[in-house]
Amino acid sequence: MIHKIKAMHDNGEGMTLRAISRELNISRNTVKKYLEMDEQSVSVMLAEPSRVKWLDNYRDFLINQLQAYPRLSAVKLMRRLKMKVGQLKISDRSIRRYVKKLKQEVALGQHRYYEPIIETVPGVQCQVDPGELSQVLISGEPQTVYFVVFVLSFSRLMYVGVSLKPLNTLRFIEMHNEAFRYFGGVTQECVYDQTKMVVLHEQYRELELNARFHQYATTTGLRIHACEGFDPESKGKVEAGVKYVKQNCLYGETFTNESALREHVRQWLDEVANQRTHGTTNQRPQYHYDHFERSHMLHYQPSMVQLCNDNLLTRQVDKTGLISWRSNKYSVPMVWQQNRIAVSEQDGKLLLHEPATGEVIAEHTVSLEKGQIIKNRDHYRDKTQAVEVLEAELQALLSGDHGLAIAALLKATMPRFYKDQLRGAIDILKQHDVLPEGLMAYILARDNLTATQLRDHIIAWKSAQVRGRVDDSSHNSSAEPIDLSIYQQVTQTSARRGWL
């Protein structure tokens, strides 16, 4: 383009600036800029086509968004960026070109599958990493201090949660609550390594998340981002933070008790870690956060999830909806198939608990035998259709209160399969016209009733009608009850022979 412009201008003896601008469909200012450049400047520009652009300052954020949502348009992508940084100092055309090129680069040149570190946009990312330091003197005895470091990627503001017991998911979540209250808000996402408190298993970057922590993150509105295994550089800020806590905060210190340890860490955060001039940002983290990031943090509402007692054991539910307990297998409601649940045994009962809340979702009587499969049929049923709906449908097919009476008989006869019986009765009644009162009186006089018996009674009654044995007057209470058993036998025999 530059050589073409210079050739068309021909040192002032060729086309004018306006004519070149119109011919090449570019602005006169661009034509003028290129004509005023000397040969050395042109060579430098051509040798470095990937020169720095204004949007390069936000490249990591754009890549992060495109990897999470590959089909984002340039317009929507820029709208998200504008919400973070304010007015954009670039034209829409330049934005589209930049995003188009960026999508090509991400698709062709991105060999790593973790998201890039976001440090140019406030309120987006927090990096989280656990650590530990042994031989710390507490109450005169050497103990191991377990801690979790939280670092905001933009301002580098830090929080450290500590414990004298090995970390579990419950304490890990409590530390998140502490950190976000300390920050006064929550970021859009947190970056973790593959600790079991977040990721239980990974294969081909398909993650099986810790169910309890996943529920906490979902309730909080926090996006979980797990790095690839053995890849510390993808969260380098917090990796450096762990070393900083060990060397600058804990090493060489002694404490009278755990409360003194917590007080020391909090004072160290407020007076040292978050007040120093950071080597990368050249800003004090607390100042940088207060002036440039706090307003971009999302509102944090501490999770209302009540976590169950850590004494509860957990079991993996297999694809058939069973868990193992003391050499037997027990069924679990179908919605929990291939998930983890919590279990406990009390007074001969095996209680199944929702893992995050501790709520009892089912129970079984513990079997004293071995190798048994104890199933509750209700665990494998579709409960989306309420019994009340089926009862109402049955009532609509029969006159008066006959529907309620039929339902009561079905329930008394087969209570465990009541819903199935209701469905069967409804299907049978839909195949026949309105039932005569004599037949209804005959059926309701029975001590028990099933859907198939209802069908047989209807067919037998109609067979007796054909033979002139019954008519509508048979429902008179003074009439002698009619024995339909012979007609049922005839009907069944005829049906087997294909006569009906």
- 3-state secondary structure string, 88-108? CCCCHHHHHHHHHHHHHHHHH
Other CB atoms within 10 A of residue 377 CB: 10
Hey, which residues does 322 pair with through a beta bridge? 331
Query: Strand, helix or coil at 228?
Result: coil
Q: Tokens standing for 340?
A: 């983890």
Contacts 24+ apart (CB under 8 A), 421-428: 421/450, 421/451, 422/387, 422/390, 422/391, 422/394, 423/390, 424/451, 424/452, 425/394, 425/451, 425/454, 426/390, 426/393, 426/394, 426/397, 427/451, 428/454, 428/455, 428/458
Q: Is 31 left (phi over 0), alpha (psi -120 to 50) or beta?
A: alpha
Specify the DSSP class assigned to residue 271.
I
Crossing angle of helices 74-85 and 59-68, in 10° steps, is 130
Other CB atoms within 10 A of residue 21 CB: 18
Hey, which residues does 362 pair with through a beta bridge? 352
Strands (E) across 334-461 are located at 340-346, 349-353, 360-365, 373-374
Strands (E) across 139-188 are located at 141-152, 158-163
Alpha carbon of residue 348 to chain centroid: 35
Give me the phi and psi of 149, to 5 degrees please. Answer: -105, 130
125-138/189-192 β-pairing: parallel
178, 161 Cβ separation under 8 angstroms: yes
Q: Tokens standing for 318?
A: 């297999």
Q: What CA–CA distance (Å, rounded) separates 125 from 150? A: 10
Task: Give pLDDT, residue 183.
Answer: 93
Nearest to 429 by CA among 402, 463, 389: 402
Task: Give pLDDT, residue 23.
Answer: 81
Task: Give pLDDT, residue 382.
Answer: 55
Task: Give pLDDT, residue 304.
Answer: 41
Q: Tokens standing for 370?
A: 């071995």
35, 9 Cβ separation under 8 angstroms: yes
Task: Give pLDDT, residue 137.
Answer: 93
Nearest to 151 by CA among 185, 111, 191, 93: 191
Taken in order of first residue, the domains within the chain and their CATH numbers are: 2-47 (no CATH), 54-109 (no CATH), 125-296 (3.30.420.10), 313-380 (no CATH), 387-497 (no CATH)
> Dihedral angle at the C-alpha atoms of 369, 370, 371, 372, nearest 10 degrees?
20
User: What number of helices (H) and strands (E) belong to the chain?
Assistant: 18, 15
Q: Tokens standing for 134?
A: 């042994």
Other CB atoms within 10 A of residue 392 CB: 12
38 Cβ contact partners less than 8 Å away, ≥ 6 residues apart: none
Task: Give pLDDT, residue 156.
Answer: 93
Specify the DSSP class assigned to residue 125.
E
The one-digit pLDDT tens for each residue of the chain (500 residues) are 677 777 787 777 778 888 888 888 777 887 887 787 776 666 655 555 444 467 777 887 888 888 777 777 888 888 888 887 777 777 778 888 888 888 776 653 344 444 444 556 899 999 999 999 999 999 999 999 999 999 998 999 999 999 999 998 888 998 998 999 899 999 999 999 878 888 887 665 567 888 888 888 888 888 988 876 544 445 556 788 899 999 899 988 999 998 899 999 999 999 999 999 988 888 999 999 999 999 999 988 765 444 444 557 888 888 888 999 989 999 998 777 777 788 888 888 898 887 655 677 889 999 989 999 998 877 776 554 568 888 888 888 887 788 889 999 999 988 877 888 888 999 999 988 888 888 888 899 888 999 989 999 998 888 888 877 666 544 444 444 555 555 555 444 433 333 33
Q: Tokens standing for 157?
A: 């503001």
278 Cβ contact partners less than 8 Å away, ≥ 6 residues apart: 156, 284, 285, 288
Q: Tokens standing for 43?
A: 């060579």
What is the chain's Cα-based Rg?
37
Half-sphere exposure of 496 (CA within 13 A, CB side): 5
Hey, which residues does 340 pair with through a beta bridge? 316
Specify the DSSP class assigned to residue 186.
B
Contacts 24+ apart (CB under 8 A), 260-263: 261/136, 261/138, 261/145, 261/162, 261/164, 262/162
Nearest to 62 by CA among 120, 110, 109: 120
